[in-house]
Each structure stands twice: as structure tokens, then as C-alpha cells.
Amino acid sequence: MKEPKPHRQSLGTLLGLCALALAGAPMALLSQDPLPSGEQIRERYINALGGVQALQSPKSSHVTGTFEIPAQGITGSMEMFGAAPDKLYTRMEMPGAGLVRTGYDGEVAWTINSVMGPMLIEGPTLQQLRQQADFYSVLHLERHIDSFEPVARKEFEGKSCYEVRVTTKWGEEYLEYYEVDTGLQAGTVRTQESPMGPIEATTVVSEYGKFGAILVPTKVEQRAMGMLQVMTIVTVEYDTVADSMFAIPPEIKALVEAAQKDTSSGRP
């Protein structure tokens, strides 16, 4: 596989198998343009964001913004810190929920909130967090994804999009949508792992903004369990994050040490 190009996916076999099924279809359907390959969709997306050189230039990012749950009248602040190759730290402050912190230093993933206290993140949730923490994941699809297969051209949230079925290396499948006109990602439909169990969420990117040479989603809406959440990005800074930002908190270190003792003693 060539880097930074994404996974290659040929449509020849698929189109051949569809030939018989389309034999009796209306002419309007037969006249539709063929789907682009997964590689073409990814390359167009990378170029729309600013191109390979712009995306691989920063070594860290600091994002600030707001987080809303409109139906409940809740508004809070958020910060996200990321650094190459795979470090992530987020903190969100919301009325009634206090401070929620989540981190990954390339080895240990964790979260701390006032309701459930400190927790280590494991299993499918850890896999999704690793994918999110990969600072250059958009350029290196193959690190987390086995298959990136365009399956249809359809409407998604009022936009004409290419629907792509994504299969991860840990066996998860979800859908991504890319605008036909701009090449930008319009959203996803994905089951998010959480302490409450798996939750199917529809995520819609409704606005983009340019920070430096890179186009960034600045308004993201997520619908899950009948609730709408809105994230708005206000500022993005590059190469200003100290490595100390990703240090593991003492209460998480205690959990790691306890888990190591259980493993060495043979306890499950």
C-alpha cells in the first residue's frame, strides 16, 4: 500500500455483478455515473482539506469551542489537545456535569468525570479512541481501516453524497458520507462505544472553517438516543502544545498499577 494514499478499492467486480440485476432497470437508473473508487474519494477529501503538505506539517493542535444540548438548554466549554503521533487530551465543562476529562498518551487511555470517577478505557472504546488520537489518520487510512468501499450515491442531510462503507481492523463497520460537489465529509453513521454500552449516532458536519492552511469542521451536530448535541469550534492553534499536557493523572496511575498487580498475581 502506498502512503499517504488510502486503501485501493476496485469496482470492476461489483459493477460486473450488477450488470444482470440492472438489465431490466429504467433507463434513468442506467444512465447514472459510476461511483468513484475509495481512493479517489479519499484523495479528493485530502485535497479539499488543504492537501498532504498542509495536513502533515503541524505536530500538535489546540482546539477550543463550545458544546451544547439545545433541548436541555445546556451549554459548556471544551478544549482538545492532540499531538503526533497519537496523543489526545480533551476536557469539557458543563453545568450540572462538572469537568469531564479524557486522555490517551499512546499507551494508556482513560477518562475522569464527577459521576463515575476515574476509569481506564479498554475494548472497542479503546480502539475508537486510538483511531481518533492518530494525528495523521486522514493521511494513513491503512493504520485503522481494512476496507473503504463506496456503495451508493444518495442524499444525506439534504446533500448529494457518496456513501462509503468502512470496515475497521477490529471488525467494526460504519458509514461515511462525502459531498459530491465539494469532496468534504458530510457526516457519519456509527455505533459509538460508551460506558452505557453501544449507542448508534448520526454525526453531521454542517460547517467548515479555515485555520492556517487547513480546513477544519467548525460545526458538528450529533444525534443519538433522541438527543441532539452540537459542537462548535472557535479557535485552532498549531504547534503550541507541550508534551506535559498528556501526562497521566495520579488517580489514573493508581488504576494502572492496580491492574498490573492483578495481572502479576494471576487474578482475572
pLDDT tens digits, one per residue of 133-142 = 999 999 999 9
Categorise residue 150: left if φ over 0, alpha if ψ from -120 to 50, beta otherwise.
beta
pLDDT at res. 33? 73
Q: Is the pLDDT of residue 31 over 60?
A: no
How confident is the model over 243-266, as a mean pLDDT?
87
Q: Is the pLDDT of residue 167 over 80?
A: yes
pLDDT digits (tens, 9 = 90+) for 71-110: 988 899 999 999 999 999 999 998 877 899 999 999 999 9
Topology given in CATH for the domain delimited by 40-243: outer membrane lipoprotein receptor (LolB), chain A (2.50.20)
Q: Is the pLDDT of residue 6 over 50?
A: no
pLDDT at res. 259? 87
- Percentage of the chain beyond pLDDT 90 is 74
pLDDT averaged over every residue in the chain: 87
Tell me which residue of 136, 160, 151, 201 sits closest to 6, measured CA to CA.
Answer: 136
pLDDT at res. 20? 33
pLDDT at res. 9? 40
Pair 89, 244: CB distance under 8 Å? no
How far, CA to CA in Å, does 42 sit from each of 6, 16, 46?
Answer: 6, 23, 6
pTM for this entry:
0.83
Domain ranges across the chain: 40-243
Tell me which residue of 124, 136, 138, 125 sits closest to 170, measured CA to CA.
Answer: 124
How confident is the model over 187-201, as a mean pLDDT?
83
